[in-house]
Amino acid sequence: MKMTFRWYGEGDTIPLAYIRQIPGMSGVVTAVYDVPVGAVWPIERILRLKSLCDKNGLAMEVIESVPVHEDIKLGKPARDGYIEAYRQNILNLAQVGVRCICYNFMPVFDWLRTDLRQENADGSTALSYVHETLTKLDPKALRLPGWDESYTQKELAGLLDEYGGVSREKLFQNLVYFLEAVMPVLDKTGIDMAIHPDDPPWDMFGLPRIITGGDSYDRLFAAVKNPHNGLTFCTGSLGAGRFNDLPTLAKRYASRIYFAHIRQLRLSGERDFTESGHLTAAGSLDIYGVVKALVENGFDGYVRPDHGRNIWGEDGKPGYGLYDRALGAAYLNGLFEAIEKRGV
Ligand code: DNO
């Protein structure tokens, strides 16, 4: 296992000099953030990130994300040009030692929450989701402070209309088309692609979501058998679906999990949840069971603590402050060490 930390590049308020001080931190997970989706990342920008990581003794082996252009997800004629750019990005990233690329195939929106600063009894704040509140929002006017906003209001409205004709089946076929097209470049470079599950794992505003649990994975691996077609196992995204048994999934897919995002949720209603500290005891997900299943089934990939709470007065980017994620990393390091050494 290699413990990593998400770092939002030079715009991040958390310096690499702090990240390197977290015990057991091997590297960061980052991306070039200010290039439009679908474009080739200038090589000098990649090299700049790499040299900053080198200077701080941190590896840069995982990219999260190289985003997939909507035309690829929609299956529009322009997709081939965007796929070519994606292939070029893979080739360029391979040159600086990248081993794994995290991406998602969610239409229009990435992760969705209804509150980014829900206050907990202990005074910390965390992201939360109430399904009924979400269904009342107007997707065309969606604006959440601090949330990953990829589109202007106008683009958003146009895109939502375009998805009107795209079924889950069509979206899945478009994913397969994309993956088939990038596999040769992955074979050549040895890079693994790791798809992030949909967060939360159900359709949103009538938009199809297709990476939601075990059935999706079986289908995905049956369609694209190449081992470079792999997973980002995100406990929080999958775990929001009560239908997902995380230790069982971790066990079943361990050999295809190249990257694990580990975080905790407190489930409330059928589809409602609040994010919490990483400990198993802090929420509804069996974090210990997941780590145990990963270790016992030969997982040897990258791990990162995922969304933390805002604690100790920190006013961090929602989900991405320093303190609680550092605590999460320390806890996860302890779990991995204990489980790994048990067999020694
Ligand atoms: C949220 C993240 C996601 C993730 C992308 C991967 O905090 O886990 O935004 O980076 O879905 O493509």
Read out DSSP for 114-180? SEEEEEPTTS-EEEEE-HHHHHHS-GGG---TTS---S-HHHHHHHHHHGGG--HHHHHHHHHHHHH
Task: Please count the other Cβ atoms lying within 10 Å of the Cβ belonging to residue 45.
Answer: 16
Is there a contact between 299 and 151 (Cβ–Cβ < 8 Å)?
Answer: no
Taking the C-alpha atoms of residue 288 and residue 156, their distance in angstroms, rounded to an integer, is: 40
Task: Please count the other Cβ atoms lying within 10 Å of the Cβ belonging to residue 172.
Answer: 18
Q: Which two tokens stand for residue 106?
A: 């969610």
Q: Does residue 159 register a pLDDT over 80?
A: yes
Is 320 among the catalytic positions?
Answer: yes
Q: How many residues does the chain have?
A: 344
Q: Which residue has the higher pLDDT, 109 or 343?
A: 109
The phi-psi region of residue 35 (left if phi > 0; otherwise alpha if psi is between -120 and 50; otherwise beta) is beta
Domains in the chain, number: 1
pLDDT digits (tens, 9 = 90+) for 270-314: 999 999 999 999 999 999 999 999 999 999 999 999 999 999 999
Among 8-12, 89-93, 158-162, the minimum mean pLDDT is found in 158-162
Among 31-35, 91-95, 321-325, the minimum mean pLDDT is found in 31-35
Structural domain of 90: 2-342
3-state SS assignment for residue 68:
coil
Q: What is the mean pLDDT of residues 72-81?
A: 97
pLDDT digits (tens, 9 = 90+) for 314-327: 998 999 999 999 99
Q: What is the mean pLDDT of residues 234-239?
A: 98
Q: Does residue 11 register a pLDDT over 90?
A: yes
CATH number at residue 258: 3.20.20.150
Taking the C-alpha atoms of residue 210 and residue 290, their distance in angstroms, rounded to an integer, is: 22
Q: Give the model's pLDDT for residue 269.
A: 87
pLDDT digits (tens, 9 = 90+) for 122-143: 999 999 999 999 999 888 877 6
Substitution candidate for ligand 1 out of 100, 108, 199, 231 with most atoms within 8 A of CB: 199
Cα(342) to centroid of ligand 1, in Å? 33
Task: Please count the other Cβ atoms lying within 10 Å of the Cβ belonging to residue 162.
Answer: 15
Q: Give me the catalytic one of 12, 198, 286, 306.
A: 306
Is 33 among the catalytic positions?
Answer: no
Give the number of the atom of ligand 1 that is nearest the alpha carbon of residue 320: 7
Ligand 1 neighbour 30 (Cβ under 6 A): no
